[in-house]
Amino acid sequence: MKYVPFSAVKIQGFWKHRSEINTSSTIPTIYKRFSETGRFEAMKCVYTEGMEKPHIFWDSDVAKWIEACAYSLEQTPDGQLEKQVDEIIGYMESGQLDDGYFNSYYIACEPENRFTVRNNHELYCAGHLTEAAVAYYRATGKDKLLDLVKRYLDLIEKAFAEDDSAAFSTPGHEEIELALIKMYELTGEEKYTNLCAHFINTRGTSQKDLDNFVYSGDHSYDQTHLPVRQQKTAEGHSVRALYLYSGMADLARLTGDKELTDACKSLFDNICSKRMYVTGGVGSSSHGETFTQDYDLPNDMAYSETCASIALVLFCRRMLMLETDSKYADAAERAMYNCVLGGVSLDGRSFFYVNPLEINLSRHEKNEKWHDIKENLLTQRAEVFSCSCCPPNLARVIPSFAGDAYSYDDKTIYVHHFISGEAEWEGIKIKQDTRYPNFGDVRITVSGAAGRKIAVRIPGWCTFATLNGGRLPHEPVRGYIYLDITQNEQVFDFYFEMKPRFVAANPLVDGDNGKVCVARGPLVYCAESVLNAGVSLNTLSVDTGAVFGSEPDEESGAMRLSVKVYEDKSRTELYYDYDPDGRTERELTMLPYFAYANHGESDMIVWLRTAAK
């Protein structure tokens, strides 16, 4: 099974709108910011006094931005943008050392120390450069960056596999593993797969690694606590973990390694059934940006980094290649439409690094002063943050998500995600007419595929679906409906009933006990005080028997909802005999989680108390 490549997919509707904002606002915003901070100049690998000192992860920032440009250029050719990218690639070429080494920080600042400090993001940067090179080559046919990366990867192979001369064995921050598979898939050269396998198989077995770096006494931080095939629960830094798991899933697919496949399945199940926010956020703790324990999902102190949800989407994409089960696409959808989309403002210009599920401005202040809680949370998106991993990561994932929509093999065409538009490859054409994620009607028209089957995912959130106005022909098989394509052009009219619903969390999630959140289709909703006359959100409880109101929201391109809630009666007493009648009704306006924090400073809440008897 293969994905229909992103370049073969033309999108419309919701995702086209988001991609256009990405192209017109996000990519230029990041360009401006990176120019101002010297990130592009730094690619020349020359540092002189007075310049801002390059940072160990700047190469990855620039590489992700180039990758984003590549996806944008595939959809929307732009000579000016391509010139900008080429110029930066020129800087890189001028900076690369003769032996192939390329890292702007080490060359400029500590040339003698390359490959000595495991936690310094060197191989992580190399991985992102590799992804950028592959994407830019696919988009433009230009191979300057690709050649640079090939030379560098050969050097890395020598230092880490052939000679074992590096001071550590595996990346402190994973990423290169999945990038090497992309190189293999572009070039067909097995040395890349072999190097990927070397990194993955060596992880958790190298004393050099353990000696070189440990975070807070805990080797699970960088997933070196066990050989990877023995890792069954998601541990440590969540972005590192999910990039590793993505590489593992890639390798398992290519090698058919059952043990590795099983480890990936266990890791996925652990995350998605015990360690994931309802928004698809993962990595609940700011301490090391880590996964913590099963069911430990605090709302106001959620870390839930944007990059971690993006990494979850990447992992899901790969798991779906290992096993056709809709749970993978469900999780990717949950993350994309909620946490990931929420990482960027509606105008595309500002970003969240951390994505809480509750903001209480007054508690915010006192948490810092009186409750020993380190404050990582922004209450509004920022145009800038010094650790800039999330903005260019968003810029590459939003336009490329359409590449996850379809896959195929000789017998079957799979529809994983519902994205208006069409795809054309190998004489096959598939078209979706849908207002998803806002309405559940999806018309799929397939041409040139008679004799195959089409497999359509029934979204996990959907409890009532029809095909061509009637019952589905069979119960979903691992979440997919399989239908014969009998005509040269055939239409399948799916309808996924999409009404607002109350969602509960497992009772073991303390912070969500006695609460529900509101969802509609794939979108999770939230309430902001600023859109509700400043009401104190904690004093509300929701009538779960109530009917929702809804109306289109032009700003977000989705629907706003309203629901009946009870507001606790304002009191002067601190304690009083319980009186359930002391509450008033009001309507609560809710908006998609991804659209919050676009209306000024505000309290925000996802999980609402259910009203008492």
Catalytic center residues = 289, 389
Provide, rounded to whole angstroms, the least separation between the CB of residue 533 and its own copies: 16
Provide, rounded to whole angstroms, the least separation between the CB of residue 311 and its own copies: 19
412 Cβ neighbours under 8 A, 6+ residues apart:
452, 453, 454, 455, 482
The contact pattern for its own copies, residues 488-517, with x = CB under 8 A and - = no contact, is -------------xxxxxxxxxx--xx-x-
Q: Do strands 608-610 and 540-542 pair parallel, antiparallel, or not at all (unpaired)?
A: parallel
What is the distance between the alpha carbons of residues 165 and 156, in angstroms, rounded to a whole number?
Answer: 10
Provide, rounded to whole angstroms, the least separation between the CB of residue 567 and its own copies: 8
Alpha carbon separation from 37 to 29, 54, 82, 102, 345 (Å, rounded): 12, 9, 21, 20, 22
Dihedral angle sign, alpha carbons of residues 377, 381, 386, 391: positive
Comparing CB distances to its own copies, the nearer of 334 and 349 is 334
Asked if 296 and 278 count as a contact pair (C-beta separation under 8 A), the reply is no
Provide, rounded to whole angstroms, the least separation between the CB of residue 538 and its own copies: 5
Asked if 272 is part of the footprint of its own copies (rule: CB under 8 A), the reply reads yes
Q: Do strands 480-484 and 515-520 pair parallel, antiparallel, or not at all (unpaired)?
A: unpaired
Asked if 544 is part of the footprint of its own copies (rule: CB under 8 A), the reply reads yes
Residue of 12, 205, 206, 538 that binds its own copies (CB under 8 A): 538
Residue of 48, 80, 386, 572 that binds its own copies (CB under 8 A): 572
Provide, rounded to whole angstroms, the least separation between the CB of residue 292 and its own copies: 4
Residue 188 tokens, joined: 């067909």
What is the distance between the alpha carbons of residues 515 and 500, in angstroms, rounded to a whole number?
Answer: 16
Task: Establish how many alpha carbons lie within 13 A of residue 329's alpha carbon, considering only the half-sphere containing its beta carbon.
Answer: 28
Q: Helix/strand/coil (H, E, C) string of 506-518?
A: CCCCHHHCCEEEE
Comparing CB distances to its own copies, the nearer of 84 and 224 is 224
Residue of 110, 157, 185, 296 that binds its own copies (CB under 8 A): 296
Comparing CB distances to its own copies, the nearer of 206 and 536 is 536
Residue of 301, 405, 449, 590 that binds its own copies (CB under 8 A): 301
Asked if 577 is part of the footprint of its own copies (rule: CB under 8 A), the reply reads yes
Cα angle, residue 590 at apex, residues 584 and 592 outer, rounded to 5°: 165
Provide, rounded to whole angstroms, the least separation between the CB of residue 312 and its own copies: 14
Provide, rounded to whole angstroms, the least separation between the CB of residue 440 and its own copies: 16
The interface region with its own copies, picked from 16-24, 70-78, 89-97, 569-577 by CB under 8 A, is 569-577
Q: Helix/strand/coil (H, E, C) string of 96-159?
A: CCCCCCCCHHHHHHCHHHCCCCCCCCHHHHHHHHHHHHHHHHHHHCCCHHHHHHHHHHHHHHHH
The interface region with its own copies, picked from 42-50, 52-60, 380-388, 567-575 by CB under 8 A, is 567-575
Q: Helix/strand/coil (H, E, C) string of 399-433?
A: HHHHHHCEEECCCEEEECCCCCEEEEECCEEEEEE
Provide, rounded to whole angstroms, the least separation between the CB of residue 363 and its own copies: 7
Number of residues binding to its own copies, judged by CB under 8 A: 65
Asked if 276 is part of the footprint of its own copies (rule: CB under 8 A), the reply reads yes
Comparing CB distances to its own copies, the nearer of 473 and 514 is 514
Asked if 596 and 528 count as a contact pair (C-beta separation under 8 A), the reply is yes
Asked if 266 is part of the footprint of its own copies (rule: CB under 8 A), the reply reads no
What is the distance between the alpha carbons of residues 316 and 332, in angstroms, rounded to a whole number?
Answer: 6
Comparing CB distances to its own copies, the nearer of 210 and 503 is 503
What is the distance between the alpha carbons of residues 565 and 173, in angstroms, rounded to a whole number?
Answer: 46
The contact pattern for its own copies, residues 344-383, with x = CB under 8 A and - = no contact, is ----------------x-xx--x--xxxxxx---------
State the angle between helix axes of 176-187 and 144-157 in degrees (0 to 180), rounded to the nearest 10: 120
Interacting residue ranges for its own copies, rule: CB under 8 A: 272-274, 276, 278, 284-288, 290, 292-293, 296, 298, 301, 360, 362-363, 366, 369-374, 463, 501-510, 513-514, 516, 536, 538-539, 541, 543-545, 568-580, 609-613
